[in-house]
Amino acid sequence: MQLLDGKAISSQIKSEIKAEVEQWVAGGGKKPHLAAILVGQDGASETYVASKIRSCEEIGFTSTLLRFEADITEAQLLEAVESLNNDPDVDGFIVQLPLPKHISENTVMEAVNPAKDVDGFHPINVGRMCKGLPAYISATPFGILEMLIRAGIETSGKHCVVIGRSQIVGLPMSILMQRNTFPGNCTVTITHSKTQNLKEICQSADILIVALGRPEFVKADYVKEGAVVVDVGITRVADATKKSGFSIKGDVDFNDVAPKASFITPVPGGVGLMTICGLLTNTFKAAKKEIYK
Ligand code: GUN
């Protein structure tokens, strides 16, 4: 079994971007600028956004955090989005999800200028990705592809099973894994809460990507000997032995599954750390106007 080490790969990618940014700025380019909108006080969102902002500082980007109370109206939030759309200094921005229930996430995502949509959530970016056109690929799928690339994992002709059909992970992942490129050329099965015989389907997976949000759901009897197992789960589970009061669990029972896997991502220290790299890569592309001229 080999570990797909998100900590090592993400720090390698960050140092590569940092070096490229230095070159870009030395050649007269503008420092990439990422802005983030954070609504309310969700603990996990606070942690993610803080980590995104910190990573920007580390690699030489400018960053801006715009915070709003949870009772902001949808119209007020749309105004904030519009002002970032029109701010020439901001190359890309994100609206951290989830949003409070009274705000439509789809409406907000569609309000973001696709050229600044570095989360890759706008229907135009999703559509371009589906057509194989240059697009911002969203953070988690980007992170998983990059792990497969850097570990040199063969994907062509393999059976890739994705558990979960979320707009952010499962759906884009299944589309990316069937593309006629590397990584890709898989035969993809996308599974979800209504799938029958889930365990049997997983047992035939060469590459199993698990994104359903149920801690330690996948056990060894779901996994074929030698499979590549990618765990996207990050659930906070109460843990009195931890100072924070919780520990982070993946969707895969790591100790049970690891002995059977050829490659496996740990949690924490796996896919989660890779996601920020996608956001940083997209923001740099936005600053260089690589996708939208
Ligand atoms: N919430 C969970 N993941 C993400 C992400 O990748 N982007 C944003 N904006 N919100 C999230």
- For 117-171, how does the pLDDT look when each residue is reduced to its tens digit (9 = 90+)? 999 999 999 999 999 999 999 999 999 999 999 999 999 999 999 999 999 999 9
Mark whether 196 is an active-site residue: no
For residue 74, is it within any domain?
yes
For residue 7, is it within any domain?
no
Mark whether 5 is an active-site residue: no
Looking at residue 251, its pLDDT comes to: 98
Q: Following DSSP, what letter does each residue of 82-133 receive, concatenated?
A: HHHHT-TT--EEEEPSPPPTTS-HHHHHHHS-GGGBTT--SHHHHHHHHTT-
CA of 275 to the centre of ligand 1 (A): 9
- How many separate domains does the chain show? 2
The residue range of the domain holding 85 is 29-113
Q: Which residues of the chain have pLDDT under 70?
A: none
Residues 6+ apart with CB under 8 A from 3: 263, 264, 265, 266
160 and 257 part of one domain: yes
For residue 282, is it within any domain?
no
For residue 13, is it within any domain?
no
CA of 279 to the centre of ligand 1 (A): 10
149 and 85 part of one domain: no
| SS3 label, residue 2 | strand
Looking at residue 113, its pLDDT comes to: 98
For residue 122, is it within any domain?
no
- 174 in Cβ contact with 162 (< 8 Å): yes
Q: ∠ at Cα 164 (48, 156), nearest 5°?
A: 100
Strands laid side by side in the 62-68 sheet: 62-68, 33-39, 92-95
For residue 36, is it within any domain?
yes
240 and 155 part of one domain: yes
Binding site for NADP(+): which residues?
164-166, 234
Record the pTM: 0.95
108 and 56 part of one domain: yes
Q: Is 129 in the pocket of ligand 1 (CB under 6 A)?
A: no
Residues facing residue 172 across a β-bridge: none
Calpha distance 288→293 (Å, rounded): 9
264 and 157 part of one domain: yes
168-203 per-position pLDDT tens digit: 999 999 999 999 999 999 999 999 999 999 999 999
Give the CATH number, domain containing residue 61. Answer: 3.40.50.10860
- Classify residue 169 by its DSSP letter: T
Give the CATH number, domain containing residue 262. Answer: 3.40.50.720
Residues 6+ apart with CB under 8 A from 149: 182, 183
188 and 254 part of one domain: yes
- Tell me: cis bond preceding 268? Omega within 30 of 0 counts: yes
255 and 165 part of one domain: yes
Domain edge (last residue) among 71, 95, 113: 113
Backbone dihedral region of 14: left (phi > 0), alpha (psi from -120 to 50 degrees) or beta?
A: alpha
For residue 18, is it within any domain?
no
Looking at residue 96, its pLDDT comes to: 98
Looking at residue 169, its pLDDT comes to: 97
Looking at residue 210, its pLDDT comes to: 98
For residue 264, is it within any domain?
yes
Domain edge (last residue) among 113, 148, 175: 113
